Structure 1
Amino acid sequence: MNHRTTLRTALLAATALTASFAIAGCAAEDSPAGGSDGKPALSVSGAFMPEPVNGDMAGGFLVVENGSDTADKLTSVTSTLSDDVQIHETKNQKMQQVRSMDVPANGELRLERGGSHMMFMGLKSKPKVGDKVAVELHFEKADPVKVELDVKERTYNPKHH
């Protein structure tokens, strides 16, 4: 190889490398928004539990907000209050346990009175108004999210407070 050929090869390689960085940069801007690791960006608000009527079971309510272009699913809930926390949906005025619930991209999953909710079965203790109940939400894609449910009076409804 002569000096001119070596220079031309080096110049072509540098141009190709620069072009690949530019293409990669464009691809990154067009990829779905999420956490820095590409997972859905989830946050939780309005978490509460009405004071249970008895020590057998309790309901839990909250909103999971997804601020990304990547959909996810709530797959389970764990808590120190109960070894059996179920995810329930209400359809046609009937409550039924489900394996998961969708958390839509750029949307929210609402667990609220009269609709989908968490059900704590076989309580280890009976929480009182003012207590906090720790739960961990598990998702198909996102990392688990730890939340505290504020125990409110039995009649509490966030739509009216």
Structure 2
Amino acid sequence: MKQRSLISAAAAMVVLGAAATQAQEASAPGLEISGGFFRAAPMAGGNGAGFVTIHSTGPADVLLAFSTPACERPELHTHLNEDGIMKMRQVPSIEVPAGGNAVLQPGGLHLMCIGLTAKLAMGDLVPVTLEFQNAGKVEVNLPVKGPGAMN
């Protein structure tokens, strides 16, 4: 039964076609989501990272969580320099300032996928639901780029 669920989740997260190479955009009251992507990850069971820019067109908001069929445990993360060593740490939320941006990017804040349900291959689209304090749930499909992609 678990294998069938994993196969269904993997099938649900892959949307092939010409649009897969382009960053997808989404919006909600007061927010615009753009420039998002995941880095390719070669195997199921491993970890992956996703990135996106969230622009507030109104009051401040807070990204509380995200979900995706691409992984078993989605977490909001940041990178910290501790005694000259870069480490990832989970954060409880990400602030989106009024009229400003929250930029989730390599080496900084990001969407961490722990326990991938399938490999993330270049050209795939991964459905993600971002959950905000004020705007509620916002769905976006993020393309998968190369393993070292920076934007």
Q: Which has the higher strand share?
A: 2
Aligned to 1:134: 127
Moved over 6 A (4+): none
Residue 115 (structure 1) aligned to one of 81, 88, 108? 108
Q: Is the contact between residue 74 and residue 140 of structure 1 (CA under 8 Å) also seen in structure 2? A: yes
Deviation, 1:94, is 2.5
**What pairs up with 1:72-111 in 2 under 5 angstroms?**
72-92=61-81, 93-111=86-104
- Counterpart-to-counterpart distance in 1, 2:104 and 2:56: 14
**Residue range with higher mean Cα deviation, 133-142 or 92-101:** 92-101
Q: d(CA) in 2 for partners of 1:53 and 1:87?
A: 21
Which runs of 5 or more residues in structure 2 are unaligned? 1-27
Identity %: 34
- TM-score calculated relative to the size of structure 1: 0.70
Q: Which structure has the greater CA radius of gyration?
A: 1
Whose helix fraction is larger, Structure 1's or Structure 2's?
A: 1
Bigger Cα displacement from structure 2, 148-157 vs 72-81: 148-157
Contact 2:105 2:150 in 1 (8 A): no
| CA distance in 2: counterparts of 1:81 and 1:54, whole angstroms | 12
Aligned residue pair count: 119
Provide the residue aligned with 2:39 in structure 1.
50
Structure 1: which 5+ runs fail to align? 1-38
Contact 1:89 1:115 in 2 (8 A): yes
C-alpha distance in structure 1 between counterparts of 2:91 and 2:136, whole Å: 20
Q: Higher relative contact order at CA 8 Å, sep ≥6: structure 1 or structure 2?
A: 2
- In the alignment, the residues of structure 1 paired with residue 29 and residue 93 of structure 2 have an alpha-carbon distance, to the nearest angstrom, of 16
CA distance, structure 2, for counterparts of residue 147 and residue 91 of structure 1: 27
Letter in 2 for 1:90: H
Taking only aligned residues, the RMSD between alpha carbons, in angstroms, comes to 1.4
